[in-house]
Chains A and B, each alone.
Chain A
Amino acid sequence: MKHLLPVLTVVIALLAVWYIACIPMNVKEVLTTAERAGVPIDPPSAAERRDMGHLALVLRNTDALGGSWSQDRARLPSPHQITAELWKSTWEEEVNGRRGIVRSGSLSNRSLIYHGWITLSATFVGFLIGAGLGVLLAVGIVHSRVMDMSVMPWAIISQTIPIVALAPMIIVVLYSVGINGLIPKAIISAYLSFFPVVVGMVKGLRAPDHMQLDLLKTYNATKSQTFWKLRLPSSVPYLFTSLKIGIAASLVGAIVGELPVQRGGLGARMLGGSYYGQTEQIWAALFVAAGMAALLVWLIGWLEKRTLTRMGMLT
């Protein structure tokens, strides 16, 4: 609770900056709307205004800027407009809407709950594949010199390819062999999340020092005993740290995978919003994505705390 005040201060400051930024960002559209409503604008010619700077327009028309925070399709919608859009595309749509779950029995394809769920399910599947693969690769890398030499460079190279360039290719290739829907997105998501898990897990499995390994040698312990009794437990804190990064990367991967195919999901909502100038829709989807990322990372953090407490490693 002691964090509440600082966090609140930052939030209020951000909101203030946002509201102020709305004025110059939206000034052209706001002035055009005001002009139509009969307010005199300086300069009166739209052509002249087009070439002027945003700030200059603001300074010359201080009386006509009342619409800065309610402009339709604003370049920068104000926070309360986005909040209204969030409300409209979640509660309103599902509870009161014709297509909502209350009246139709299934989630509306216009609601962010529906799209958020699509993204979330791809994120989960992708994360499970990515984290599982990451752990397996790490175990291989730690135990086999050949794998250490061969897998690690490829893992690093794989992350230097921009995912936005790779995602459409993965989707097209998989589509051509008849795989579509959730799986291609999950694969892109796994592609992004396996890497931090490999790196963290390799570090964790190698965390035991010489002395601890020598101790097991004095017991004549086997490799698998060393793994289960020493390496694996030592790696748990490292694993959770990389899982936090991994699940956030998974979410990004799922969203990127939704951009090329307009078949639902937060990524589709964002791109769709930009096609039609629905900035509020973009922002609303963005906030849902950010909220989901925060929730997922928090969830892993909670699991981490519980696990480490049970292991006796958190004092």
Chain B
Amino acid sequence: MKTPVIQAKDLNLTFETNDGPVHALKGVNLDIQQGDFVSFIGPSGCGKTTFLRCIAGLETPTGGSLTVNGMSPDDARKARAYGYVFQAAGLYPWRTIGGNIRLPLEIMGYSKQKQAEQVQRTLELVDLAGFEKKFPWQLSGGMQQRASIARALAFDADILLMDEPFGALDEIVRDHLNAELLKLWDRTGKTVGFVTHSIPEAVFLSTKIVVMSPRPGRITDVIESTLPRERPLEIRDSKEFIEIAHRVREGLKAGSEV
């Protein structure tokens, strides 16, 4: 068995706040393998964002161990091991779509020619070819979020971390983007960490579903999906899909009863 890309062992994170300590993560154990699509699902405040930020080296755990590509998360961040997609697209209004995607490439010192190539390639990957010269305000919310995914993909990191990237979008756009994301994952073979609070979204996308519960934030169930890699939208009506969704729902319920 290969060594996991991301490995958390007995991970703890306690925020010291004015109202006393908040146990955002407690005793979290998780292995994520190369090429996995892992969803984190759970009610608000169960530590999904915090866990993703720990992986990204944006938050420092207060206990346990966490490695990313065999390194500490901070070293992995410095090695630009992952692309991060936030809930809001957060595109720079003074940059065109192409300019926004070029941002990480400029910072990482890519050559002008390589920048142009990467921008073209990622724009095609997220189906935004032809929008390079447009400014963010000229695009719909869904297209802006696609551009922000392109920005995270532009520098070819092996890991893609996404924190409720489609949370603010309506369901039709969301379905479409989910299908696109699956295709993209299939084509690029990246390891994806995806935070959501939608059960169908988690089941549809994931090879592994991590069910979490709050106070203290912890993992209550890890479900290995039995769905095939190739997933048309209609798969959501299949018996298998409904069974997995049921197990996720049970896991969420069990977590909230404690």
Contacts and interface: CB of A to CB of B under 8 A. Distances in A.
Given A212-B90, A312-B94, A218 B77 contact: yes
Interface stretch (B21-29, B40-48, B101-109, B238-246): B101-109
Nearest to A225: B107
Given A211-B90, A312-B94, A218 B108 contact: no
Interface size range on A against B: 10 to 19
Given A212-B90, A312-B135, A315-B137, A219 B95 contact: no
A13 interface: no
A220 B77 contact: yes
B149 to A, nearest CB: 13
B84 A215 contact: yes
B65 interface: no
Contacts of A215: 84, 86, 90
B107 A230 contact: no
B155 to A, nearest CB: 8
Chief secondary structure at chain A's binding surface: helix
B195 interface: no
Contacts of B56: 218
A311 interface: yes
Contacts, number: 48
Interface residues of B, number: 24
A185 to B, nearest CB: 37
B51 interface: no
Contacts of A312: 93-96, 135, 137
A220 B80 contact: yes
A217 B135 contact: no
B108 A219 contact: yes
B182 to A, nearest CB: 23
A216 interface: yes
Interface string B79-120: 010111010101011111000000110111000000000000
B107 A218 contact: no
Contacts of A230: 92
16 contacts: A211-B86, A211-B88, A214-B84, A215-B86, A216-B107, A218-B77, A218-B84, A219-B80, A219-B103, A219-B155, A220-B78, A220-B107, A229-B103, A233-B94, A312-B135, A313-B93
Interface of B: 56, 58, 77-78, 80, 82-84, 86, 88, 90, 92-96, 103-104, 106-108, 135, 137, 155
Interface of A: 211-212, 214-221, 225, 229-230, 233, 236, 311-313, 315
